[in-house]
Each structure stands twice: as structure tokens, then as C-alpha cells.
């Protein structure tokens, strides 16, 4: 447990401890927040000193906070933007034993706390310019020349919008490629959790009768699956200033063989989504908004064309990313070898969609492909 003791005195300390054994993707205490069972965060604050020390009581606070913070260069001037919004907050005053109003007596003080999260709060999100944190802070004010003492801790919250055993209607995306080839992509839903393995079913019908390609065989030259993450940051104090970023979370080449036929065909691809360290959950908080699009990008031709004459076929599917529920990851073995990290590419445009970047992991047509990447850490012995 990290202890921030700004007095630099080993004779006294202040710390925040949480009563959970699981750790989240950033090594923080982990809590699950679901529609049926809101998260209850329990823990205690502990202050100890071996001798009298100057200071008041402990101000202890909890905040669920969204923040967007970035800078922009305009000529020689650097303009800073900072938008903080608290979606839930709570505070306590922890009384310490004093020999007088400004002097704390030697000893140990423990304060137990409990916070029930409000329904609908988003998942924890880390980012360079925008984030959502669940933060606890214990603070003791001290008069000059003594430095204040403080401890700050974050917990990681998996906030899932999925209900237990909830059934979703399949999400169907239809496209007519070049006005001659009907293509249908089917997902089991448009809501997925971090680390889920998602079946994407592709259905290609024969070329239309009025097409010059009627009766020709469809040949897939190459294909890959891409996940785009779009982030909008806002600062209303600066005349409603916005910043829009986009990132390629992953690119997965489809490496297995494709049918070659003029009768149409159906194929299912298993797409493994990364965990929370690579893929943020969707959020609409004011300062930070995140949304996601799953893209199928293919190069196709007919048996009457050369590979140089292949053309791009693209289907874009807007999806919502949420956090896993406890049952999604409770039974996962924590000791398996970690897979290679997903590629994460920051980009200002979509030009990179046309040619896939270096791939770090493949999708598979085998339903048993791979293990879910887990962001849950289990301390040894638990």
C-alpha cells in the first residue's frame, strides 16, 4: 500500500486500506459494479504517530471524477485546458486524539468507511488526456513550517451495463458492395465487454443478376478486423473548446483460408477483444466521451480479375464497450502466460485503414481460439 507522507518523518504515517483481495489492471483494488449489485467499497484509514506531532483532524474524501486535461500550442503561446466533473462525492471528518487543538497525541487511529456507488457510474478509465477515476484522499492540515500529510489512492471499478443472463437481439449490418454484391455482417449484440471473444458472421451472396460479375467467383485477397476508439474532450470554460482524438486499438488479420465460389458463402470469425488496459469502456461524462467502431476491411476480386485489380470492401459496425461482470472473469486462471500486447496506434485520420499496420495478433475461425486476456490480478495465496 503506497503511503504518501509529505512530512518525510518515519515516526508518523497515514494510509488508506481497502478490504478486497482482487486487483485491477493497474494494480489497484478492484470492485465490480453491476445494474443488480452496485459496488460497495469498504476499507479503513489508519493514522499512527510515535510521538506528539503538529496537525489537525483528518479530512477524508471520496470522488468519482471525470477529467479532461490537455494543452495546445498557438504560435508561441501554450493554452491549457482542464475540465473536472464529479459524478459522486462523499466526505468524512476523522477525529484524532489531541493534547491541544493543534497537537496530535501519540497512538494509532483507525477509521472504517463504506461507499456505495451510484447506479450508472462508468468504469474506471486511464488516458493521457482524459480519464475517469475513483479517488480516495486522506489529508491532515498542518501549520507552517510543517508540511501537510496526505494519502491518495485509486480503486478500479468494472462498471458493466450488462445484466445477468441478459439476452440481446443479434445486430445485423447490411451492405451492397459496389451495387453488385450483397454482404451481411452479424454480431450477437452491439454491446461487448472488455476481454470478450466475439463471433462475427459474414454472409456473402452471389453477385446480382444485373452485375457484369454475375456467375463469377468471389476471391478474398486479404482481410483484417480493426477496432477504432474515438475520444472527445471538452472544456466549457474555454468557449466550449473540444478536442477529438482517434486511436486504432487493434488490427487483427484473418489468416485462415476463404471459400472461393460463385454461390455465396458464410464464414464466422472469432474476434478477441483486449482488456481494459488497451480498450477503454464507453463513457459519456461531459469532460470525456468515448465510443467505438468495429471495422471489417477486405480486398476482394473475382476469378476474372488479377490481384492488382482487387478492390476494397468495408463494413463499419458501431458497438458499445462495457466492463466484464464478475462471472465473466472469476473462473479464469490467472497464471497462464500473457499474450503479446495489442498494437495501439494514435492517428489523426483513417488513412491507415486502407493498408493494415504490423499485426500483433490474429483472429481465428476456431471457436476455441485463445484465452481471454484478463485484467484481474490475484495476490499470491488468494
* Per-residue pLDDT band at 211 (split at 50, 70, 90): confident
Q: How confident is the model at residue 119 (pLDDT cuts 50, 70, 90)?
A: very high
Residues in the chain: 382
Cα–Cα nearest to 156, from 339, 350, 324: 324
Q: Does 334 score more than 60 pLDDT?
A: no
pLDDT in the model for residue 364: 42
Q: Is residue 148 classed as helix, strand or coil in its secondary structure?
A: coil
Q: What is the pLDDT of residue 323?
A: 95
Instruction: Quote the cell numbers at residue 111.
Output: 477509521
Q: How high is the pLDDT of residue 255?
A: 87
- The topology (CATH level 3) of 171-353 is Immunoglobulin-like (2.60.40)
The phi and psi torsions of 370 (rounded to 5 degrees) equal 70, 175
Higher-pLDDT residue of 243 and 166 is: 243
CA 292 to chain centre: 11
Whether pLDDT at 331 is above 80:
no
Q: How far apart are CA 202 and CA 207, in angstroms?
A: 15
DSSP alpha helices (H): ranges in the chain? 326-329
Work out the average pLDDT over 136-163: 92
Instruction: Output helix, strand, coil percentages for the chain, rounded to the nearest 5.
Output: 5, 50, 45
Q: What does the angle CA 316 – CA 321 – CA 324 come to, to the nearest 5 degrees?
A: 145
Domain boundaries, the chain: 12-159, 171-353
Burial class (CB in 10 A: 0-12, 13-18, 19+), 316: middle
Least confident range from 305-309, 325-329, 351-355: namely 351-355
- pLDDT value of residue 341: 41
Distance (Å, whole) CA 31 – CA 321 = 18
**What is the band of 330 on the pLDDT scale with cuts at 50, 70, 90?**
low
User: What does the pLDDT read at residue 9?
Assistant: 57
pLDDT band at residue 355 using 50, 70 and 90 as cut-offs: very low
Cβ-based neighbour number of residue 70 at 10 Å: 17
Whether the Cβ atoms of residue 290 and residue 125 lie closer than 8 Å to each other: yes
C-alpha distances (whole Å) from 280 to each of 23, 247, 301, 343 are 17, 11, 36, 14
DSSP code of residue 308: G
Distance CA 349, CA 344 (A): 14
pLDDT at 315: 94
* CA nearest neighbour of 212 among 172, 188, 242, 181: 181
Q: What is the mean pLDDT of the chain?
A: 84
pLDDT band at 183 (very low <50, low <70, confident <90, very high): very high
Asked if 364 and 370 touch (Cβ cutoff 8 Å), the reply is: yes
pTM of the model: 0.80
Predicted confidence at residue 256, as pLDDT, reads 83
Which tens digit of pLDDT belongs to each residue from 14-43? 999 999 999 998 889 999 999 999 999 999
List, in order, residues 6 or more apart from 188 with CB less than 8 Å away: 168, 170, 171, 198, 199
Q: Domain 12-159 belongs to what topology?
A: Immunoglobulin-like (2.60.40)
Give the position of cell 461487448.
Answer: 192
Grid cell locating 6: 509529505
Mean pLDDT score, 315-344: 68
Taking the C-alpha atoms of residue 189 and residue 319, their distance in angstroms, rounded to an integer, is 8
Encode 339-379 in three state secondary structure.
CCCCCCEEECCCHHHCCCCCCCCCEECCCCCCCCCCCCECC
Distance CA 134, CA 154 (A): 6
- Of 115-119, 228-232, 286-290, 302-306, the poorest mean pLDDT is in 302-306
The two domains 12-159 and 171-353 share their CATH topology (first three levels equal): yes
Confidence grade of residue 237 (pLDDT, cut at 50, 70, 90): confident
| CA–CA distance, 2 with 138 (Å, rounded to integer) | 13
Amino acid at each position: 500500500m503506497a503511503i504518501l507522507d509529505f512530512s518525510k518523518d518515519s515516526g508518523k504515517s497515514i494510509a488508506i486500506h481497502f478490504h478486497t483481495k482482487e486487483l485491477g489492471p493497474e494494480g489497484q483494488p478492484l470492485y465490480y459494479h453491476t445494474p443488480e449489485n452496485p459496488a460497495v467499497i469498504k476499507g479503513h484509514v489508519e493514522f499512527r504517530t510515535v510521538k506528539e506531532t503538529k496537525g489537525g483532524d483528518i479530512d477524508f474524501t471520496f470522488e468519482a471524477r471525470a477529467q479532461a486535461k490537455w494543452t495546445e500550442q498557438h504560435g508561441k503561446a501554450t493554452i491549457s485546458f482542464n475540465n473536472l466533473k464529479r459524478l459522486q462525492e462523499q466526505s468524512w471528518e476523522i477525529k484524532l486524539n489531541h493534547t491541544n487543538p493543534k497537537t496530535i497525541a501519540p497512538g494509532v487511529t483507525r477509521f472504517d468507511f463504506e461507499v456505495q456507488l451510484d447506479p450508472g457510474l462508468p468504469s474506471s478509465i486511464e488516458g493521457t488526456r482524459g480519464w475517469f477515476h475513483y479517488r480516495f484522499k486522506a489529508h491532515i492540515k498542518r501549520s507552517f513550517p510543517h508540511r501537510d500529510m496526505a494519502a491518495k489512492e485509486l480503486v478500479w471499478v468494472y462498471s458493466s451495463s450488462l445484466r445477468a443472463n441478459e439476452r440481446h437481439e443479434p445486430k445485423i449490418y447490411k451492405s451492397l458492395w459496389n451495387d453488385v454484391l450483397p454482404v451481411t455482417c452479424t454480431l450477437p449484440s452491439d454491446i461487448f465487454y472488455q476481454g470478450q471473444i466475439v463471433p462475427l458472421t459474414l454472409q456473402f451472396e452471389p453477385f446480382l443478376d444485373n452485375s457484369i460479375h454475375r456467375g463469377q467467383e468471389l476471391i478474398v485477397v486479404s482481410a483484417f478486423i480493426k477496432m477504432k476508439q474515438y475520444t472527445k474532450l471538452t472544456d466549457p470554460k474555454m468557449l466550449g473548446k473540444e478536442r477529438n482524438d482517434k486511436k486504432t486499438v487493434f488490427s487483427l488479420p484473418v489468416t485462415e483460408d476463404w471459400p472461393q465460389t460463385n454461390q455465396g458463402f458464410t464464414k464466422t470469425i472469432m474476434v478477441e477483444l483486449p482488456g481494459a488496459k488497451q480498450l477503454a469502456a464507453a463513457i459519456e461524462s461531459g469532460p470525456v466521451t468515448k465510443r467505438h467502431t468495429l471495422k471489417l476491411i477486405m480486398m476482394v476480386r473475382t476469378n476474372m480479375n488479377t490481384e492488382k485489380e482487387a478492390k476494397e470492401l468495408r463494413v463499419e459496425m458501431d458497438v458499445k464497450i462495457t466492463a466484464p461482470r464478475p462471472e465473466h472473469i472469476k473462473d479464469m486462471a490467472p497464471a497462464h502466460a500473457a499474450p503479446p500486447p495489442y498494437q495501439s496506434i494514435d492517428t489523426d485520420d483513417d488513412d491507415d485503414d486502407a493498408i493494415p499496420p504490423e499485426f500483433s495478433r490474429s483472429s481465428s475461425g476456431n471457436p476455441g481460439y485463445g484465452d481471454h486476456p484478463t485484467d484481474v490480478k490475484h495476490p499470491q495465496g488468494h
